[in-house]
Structure 1
């Protein structure tokens, strides 16, 4: 058994929404860290968000959300890292 992670990306108007998502078949607790780096003609930004989470068995949990301007399309890199007491560590990236 393990915990899974995903970075969901959706476009909203002229913005890009990134949601850090955790899921798994069993209850888990731990910490997360989302690092987002954007480098585009409109500028450079770096965003780091972190915290604790509790995951319910079989349910997606949105841990945090970052909204970037539309110029970030194709010009960002996001990495989500999860560290759980029960299942160890996992990470995922976007794109």
Structure 2
């Protein structure tokens, strides 16, 4: 979010909530953000513990936005298909094998 959008949201919140209740709501929002960060840190710590300390996960690999069905199908259609297991065996033995 840009600064301008946050400013507009803040001004609207100030009018809707009122200046007397706004500090309490801001404090609650701060607590919520801190607790969400704590939860995210706990999840990362737990994943590191379960996968091992030496493993550093690349979280971008698990981003669901990277799974574009059109791209996956395009790559599958353009890739060279792997030969069948029987074809590979014939290639090792020779073309005249039964």
Normalized per residue, which structure has more strand?
Answer: 1
Scaled to the shorter chain, the TM-score interval is under 0.3
TM-score normalised by length of structure 2: 0.17
- Relative contact order, higher structure (CA 8 A, sep 6+): 1
